[in-house]
Structure 1
Amino acid sequence: MNQLSINQLKQFKHDITRFMMMYKFALDEMETRIEILVQEFEMLHEYNPIEHTKSRLKSPESIVNKLYRKGCDISFPNIRDNIKDIAGLRITCSFISDIYVISEMLKNQSDLKVLEEKDYIKHPKQNGYQSLHLIIEVPVHMSDRREHVCIEVQIRTIAMDFWASLEHKIYYKFTEDNRAVPARLLEELKQAAYAASVLDQQMERLHKEIEIIKEEQSDMYDEKLNRIIINNQQFALPQALLGLLDDTKK
């Protein structure tokens, strides 16, 4: 390999590394934002709608294969314009209502831009899959410029996440062996998706009933109101600060 081709390879490696880094940084940025929301809910509310998150970055090979399937020429601009799920973040919740709460919180962040929304909860896929998909443009501050990078955010319940994970494993097993999934299994998967949806709706009703009961049974005054917890440290509220309550009444 001559010196020119070595230098070209080095430059290409630099370019593709920088390109992939942008998506990695966009995921880091979103995960930090989600972690802030988690801590906010833990400190200020009795209930946290976010169970856990999982992120993934497509490999360069997977990106190229998807670009080929779309019939596009290989170039960085074509990749950015035609593939919006290079970076993916999955947020798992306990209840269906949590999905829309989290979605609204993300939409309300002024520097995030929602480019596309697909609601597979109100309009499930043919196989029964339910989830909320958002394509979000995230600002990423590099050393010499600011980039706006697209990531796909999937928000779904624990029940549907469990179903989707098993469905993926079943499909992967058959595609790995170049076989079609039998119709009987496809029908059972669809029935399982329906069962997961029914479970979600039942748990949603129970959650709302429990919240109503808690409100009815709550005391007018609670010792917990005299203290706050920040970063697992407990602080008593000084009497001088409680005096501010009297000032607000004047």
Structure 2
Amino acid sequence: MSEHIRVSVADGVCTVAMHRPEKKNALTRDMYAGLADAIERSAADPAIRCLLLTGTEEVFCAGNDIADFRAPRPAEDPAVPTPSRRFYFGLANFEKPLVAAVPGLAIGIGCTMLLHADIVYAAPEARFRLPFVDLGLVPELGASMLVPWLAGKHKAAELMMLGEFFDAAAAERMGFVNRILDRAELLPNATATARALAEKPVEAMRLTKRLLRPEMPPLLARMEEERVLIAERLRAPETQAIMANVLKPKR
């Protein structure tokens, strides 16, 4: 388990907190592995009946760690899923209720993972962004299908092509967020909701979640298409130049 992923289990709820505040909870390969481990454990353990995702006191997740993202990797074994793939598809296929508490920044993967949650609470200070085009990339985690499904085609184009920040009130209007709560009340309320969901009839909950979601085969196919395109974009000179500039020391 990554030192930057904190996991606790109580009252049928597995709480998973990203905890790398010095880097605004930007995800590394090890953090993806820790998140995937927690999701797989929660999926397999019948005593865990709800998953709660959160961050640190002021940040949810500021996206991928660009330096870690660009670091050379050993050749992938097709028979062994990468940590990010385990996280992506584990999250999408998770059949139990999933609650998210967003205290602050939710950028890139920090925003798209919320599309797979069932109930999302955010603090008024939370800010969201889908900056994939600005990084020379394409959306991931099924966002190219889920954001239009949630917010409509034209709004999705605005969010992902312009890549501008939007606040918690806008996120609530578009359906990214269920409720806005003061930061002090955020985690207690999310935990109470997760515990209430954990007490519901298990099979009825699983079937209801399945019925509420979009058709899974097209979504999973789109997620795989996005992953292939991201891998291609990461090798593109355009993207390499953008990311090198992001990593350039600031004077």
**If the length of structure 2 is used for normalisation, what is the TM-score?**
0.25
Structure number with higher helix proportion: 1
**Greater percentage in strand:** 1
Which protein is bigger by CA-based radius of gyration? 1
